[in-house]
């Protein structure tokens, strides 16, 4: 018979002692959730520390990531590659045991958590991915649970409402939410902040709800077992005491974010009858935990046998998806599409160009799961062959996320973390601000998630400043490890999609227009010119270059028109299309100077957005033409697109005049 009391205390004191040694951290939550963690890991969670990426493992997400030592202690005790030294180095530089769990630092950490509520939405994405995988490869191959631990803070954050509504709607019956219901947040009692009836809220979403004493491990196991048999997603409210075992800080906010101190730790040791030195765990406790991993190892062997029985083609497809590789035929199909596009030379909005490209991609990338935030007809993320994902029908590949941008983005992160899927979804670019925290975590974790953000400038016209993004491009570009693509026509759009799909450890933002744009790439090449981020679109073969026009997206057409006007005045202007600043910045100095030679200092950048970030290309003497302050609001205005471009001076005439003025001043000097 396992001594669960001792096992729980082992988790408690590893957590207490690690926080004390670091002189930083949150001891109260691991002290309060120790029994829940032990019950889950020892009796229910299916995992194999020797094969930590096993696709059919149960997922455990610690959404209340401030309690990270709960997870680290459990991973250490169950045989994962987190050593006692790692626990002693909690919150130290280069340690696997960061202040909040960070994906990629150690096996068993399924996602990066800390920003409260994110883990909840990630877990919903994982639960959706499990259903999709089972539909495609069979329940013999994918048939596991997703557990997510949450606190009051997670449930207060708006993202939890967005994600849990979707979970209830889709009836994700293998999603189990473990609520640490201790009625304490940093500022004091939750009752000071909230009167929400949490169980009623969860029932309204379509969850089965349960309540039990979180410190009675027998009752905890009984309730988890009931939840596993629910036909709906399950929500368990565990009544716990934060800082359990400490008479000084239990049930107070003092247990939340500070070490207990040596004297109080000794008092807790006495109270819980734990007579072992810090970081000393008796062998019989390790033995008690080992049976859980042994169970998982057996399940893994049985799973391998089932995979071997798969049809050979299905087995190869499973391996391809899990390895993250793309179909060999995709590039050829995209090149054929590019050639046809160049020959047709049609005027098309890049949001439509993106939809056209997706029609090609979806036929060769069945792992693509698309969607939108209730804007399908506007963002063109649903192809003619895509079908919706519905309750009890996960045969589709299109998610109707509803008006839930933040939840949508975090759910996509969960799908990407799960493996075997490439999630993409769309909304208007002005709503980047609604999903930005999840985009940041996509970047932090290095996930291949593709954000389709349309209506990307004042070019959307009459909807006005609330919907006209100005600063969002700069925001996206300022976020580390994000590729921000702003293509100028159908050909560049196809190339940018190819680059986004092959960026395995980087999320991508596709910034796309509402208004139609001319086809500027009329000469076909199999080479992906956008791969270098910026390239010479026109003026490469001129004997001399007098000026350089740099532009992105819809403004490349304006730059080309300005070049023609300058020709009439005898000025040779080069046009540089810059669809992705991040990729251009990665190129060799030699290449960058070949595109933007130092000797040509007469430069104008054109973009219908904020100026931030452009001076590294135009220099101190260059001019930016965009949403600069002209004495009026630079957030846009309600009017037809053509009038707005004229009003804000984003025109070929202004660009040409600016360059001519610069050249005249140089000659006078």
Question: Can you tell me which residue has the tokens 């028109």?
Answer: 561
What Å distances lie between residue 614 and 235, 457, 620, CA to CA?
49, 17, 10
pLDDT at 620: 87
**Catalytic residue, candidates 405, 495, 555, 607:** 405
Tell me the C-alpha distance between 438 and 268, whole Å.
Answer: 39
> What residue has token string 């935030």?
373
Give the pLDDT confidence score for residue 6 in this predicted structure.
Answer: 97
Quick: pLDDT tens for 253-309: 999 989 999 999 999 999 999 999 999 999 999 999 999 899 999 999 999 999 999
Whether residue 611 is predicted with pLDDT greater than 80 in this model: the reply is: yes
Supply the DSSP string of 429-466, one letter for each residue.
GGGHHHHHHHHHHHHHHT---EEEEES-SGGG-TT-TT
pLDDT at 353 over 70: yes
Please write the tens of the pLDDT for every residue from 510-528: 999 999 999 999 999 999 9
- pLDDT category of residue 652 using cuts at 50, 70 and 90: very high
Q: What is the 3-state secondary structure (H, E, C) of 330-369?
A: HHHHHHHHHHHHHHHCCCEEHHHHHHHHHHHHHHHCCCEE
Could you give the percent of the chain with pLDDT greater than 90?
Answer: 96
pLDDT band at 542 (very low <50, low <70, confident <90, very high): low
User: What local confidence, expressed as pLDDT, does residue 668 receive?
Assistant: 83
Residue 319: which residues within 8 A CB-CB, separation 6 or more?
Answer: none
Residue 533's pLDDT is 98
Can you tell me which residue has the tokens 């006007």?
565
- How is residue 308 annotated by DSSP? H
Average pLDDT for 353-380: 98
pLDDT at 292: 87
Q: The tokens of 627 are what?
A: 């949403």
Tell me the pLDDT band of 486, cut-offs 50, 70 and 90. very high
Mean pLDDT of 326-341: 96
Give residue 2's pLDDT band: very low, low, confident or very high (50, 70, 90): confident
pLDDT, average across residues 120-129: 98
| C-alpha torsion 272→275→276→281, nearest 10 | -50
Stretch 150-178: mean pLDDT: 98
pLDDT at 628: 78
CA distance 78 to 48: 9
CA dihedral 594, 597, 602, 603 (to 10 degrees): 50
pLDDT at 629: 62
> Residue 323: pLDDT above 60?
yes
What average pLDDT does the structure give for the chain?
96
Tokens of 64: 């209340």
- pLDDT for 422-477, tens place per residue? 999 999 999 999 999 999 999 999 999 999 999 999 999 999 999 999 999 999 99
Q: Which residues pair with 76 in a beta bridge?
A: none
Residue 663 to residues 558, 569, 604, 623, 658: CA-CA distances in angstroms? 20, 11, 12, 13, 9
**Does the pLDDT of residue 631 top 60, yes or no?**
no
Q: What is the mean pLDDT of residues 478-498?
A: 98
CB atoms within 10 A of CB 81: 14
What are the residues facing 371 on neighbouring strands?
399
Residue-level pLDDT at 632 = 64
Question: Cα separation of 26 and 258, whole Å?
Answer: 6
| 331 token code pair | 């590039």
Cα(458)–Cα(456) distance, integer angstroms: 7
Residue 567: its pLDDT value, please? Answer: 95
Instruction: Determine what percent of the chain is predicted with pLDDT higher than 70.
Output: 99
Which three-class secondary structure string do you get for 39-91? HHHHHHCCCCCCCCCCCCCCEEEECCHHHHHHHHHHHHHCCCCCCHHHHHCCC
> Is 405 one of the annotated active-site residues of the chain?
yes
Q: Rounded CA gap, 359 and 262, in Å?
A: 63
Model confidence band, residue 543 (pLDDT cutoffs 50, 70, 90): low
What are the chain's domains? 4-302 (3.40.50.970), 330-517 (3.40.50.970), 530-668 (3.40.50.920)
Identify the pLDDT of residue 634. Answer: 87
pTM of the model: 0.97
pLDDT of res. 269: 98
Q: How much is the average pLDDT of 37-58?
A: 97
User: Residue 669 pLDDT more than 90?
Assistant: no
Backbone φ/ψ region at 44: left (φ over 0), alpha (ψ -120 to 50), beta: alpha
């Amino acid at each position: 018979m396992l001594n669960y009391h001792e096992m729980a205390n082992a988790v408690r004191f590893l957590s207490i002692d690690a926080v004390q040694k670091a002189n930083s951290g949150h001891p109260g939550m691991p002290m309060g959730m120790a029994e829940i963690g032990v019950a889950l890991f020892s009796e229910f969670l299916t995992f194999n520390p020797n094969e930590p990426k096993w696709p059919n493992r149960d997922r455990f997400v610690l959404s209340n990531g401030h309690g990270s030592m709960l997870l680290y202690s459990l991973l250490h005790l169950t045989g994962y590659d987190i050593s006692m030294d790692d626990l002693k180095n909690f919150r130290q530089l280069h340690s696997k045991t960061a202040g909040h769990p960070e994906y990629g630092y150690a096996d068993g950490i399924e996602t990066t958590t800390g920003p409260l509520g994110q883990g909840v939405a990630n877990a919903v994405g994982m639960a959706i991915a499990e259903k999709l995988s089972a539909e495609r490869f069979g329940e013999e191959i994918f048939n596991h649970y997703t557990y997510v631990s949450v606190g009051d803070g997670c449930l207060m954050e708006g993202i939890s409402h967005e994600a849990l509504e979707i979970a209830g709607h889709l009836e994700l019956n293998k999603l189990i939410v473990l609520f640490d219901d201790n009625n304490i947040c940093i500022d004091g009692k939750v009752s000071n902040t909230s009167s929400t009836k949490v169980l009623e809220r969860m029932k309204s979403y379509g969850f089965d709800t349960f309540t039990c004493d979180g410190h009675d491990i027998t009752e905890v196991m009984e309730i988890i077992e009931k939840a596993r048999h629910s036909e709906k997603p399950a929500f368990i409210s565990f009544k716990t005491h934060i800082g359990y075992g400490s008479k000084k800080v239990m049930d107070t906010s003092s247990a939340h974010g500070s070490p207990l101190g040596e004297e109080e730790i000794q008092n807790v040791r006495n109270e819980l009858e734990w007579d072992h030195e810090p970081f000393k765990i008796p062998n019989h406790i390790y033995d008690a935990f080992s049976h859980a991993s042994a169970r998982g190892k057996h399940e893994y062997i049985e799973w391998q046998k089932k995979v071997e029985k798969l049809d050979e083609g299905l087995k190869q497809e499973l391996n391809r998806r899990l390895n993250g590789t793309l179909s060999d035929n995709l590039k050829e199909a995209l090149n054929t599409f590019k050639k046809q596009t160049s020959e047709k030379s049609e005027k098309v909005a890049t949001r439509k160009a993106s939809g056209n490209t997706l029609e090609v991609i979806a036929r060769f990338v069945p792992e693509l799961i698309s969607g939108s935030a209730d804007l399908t007809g506007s963002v063109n993320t649903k192809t003619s062959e895509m079908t919706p994902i519905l309750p009890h029908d996960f045969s589709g590949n299109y998610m109707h996320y509803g008006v839930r941008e933040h939840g949508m983005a975090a759910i996509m992160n969960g799908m990407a973390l799960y493996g075997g899927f490439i999630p993409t979804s769309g909304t208007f670019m002005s709503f980047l601000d609604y999903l930005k925290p999840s985009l940041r975590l996509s970047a932090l974790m290095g996930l291949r998630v593709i954000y389709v953000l349309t209506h990307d400038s004042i070019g959307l016209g009459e909807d006005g400043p609330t919907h006209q993004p100005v600063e969002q491009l700069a925001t996206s570009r300022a976020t580390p490890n994000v590729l921000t693509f702003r293509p100028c026509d159908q050909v560049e759009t196809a190339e940018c999609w190819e680059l986004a799909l092959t960026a395995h450890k980087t999320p991508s933002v596709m910034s796309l227009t509402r208004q139609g744009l001319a086809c500027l790439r009329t000469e076909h090449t199999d080479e992906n010119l956008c791969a270098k981020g910026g390239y010479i679109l026109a003026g490469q073969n001129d004997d001399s270059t007098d000026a350089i026009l740099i532009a992105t997206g819809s403004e490349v057409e304006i730059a080309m028109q300005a070049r023609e006007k300058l020709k009439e005045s005898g000025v040779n202007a080069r046009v540089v299309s810059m669809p992705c600043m991040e990729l251009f910045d990665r190129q060799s100095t030699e290449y960058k100077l070949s595109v933007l030679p130092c000797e040509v200092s007469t430069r104008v950048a054109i973009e219908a957005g904020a100026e931030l970030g452009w001076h590294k290309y135009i220099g101190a003497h260059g001019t930016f033409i965009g949403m600069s302050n002209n004495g009026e609001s630079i957030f846009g205005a309600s009017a037809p697109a053509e009038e707005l471009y004229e009003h804000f001076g984003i025109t070929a005439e202004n660009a040409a005049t600016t360059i001519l003025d610069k050249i005249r001043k140089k000659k006078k000097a």
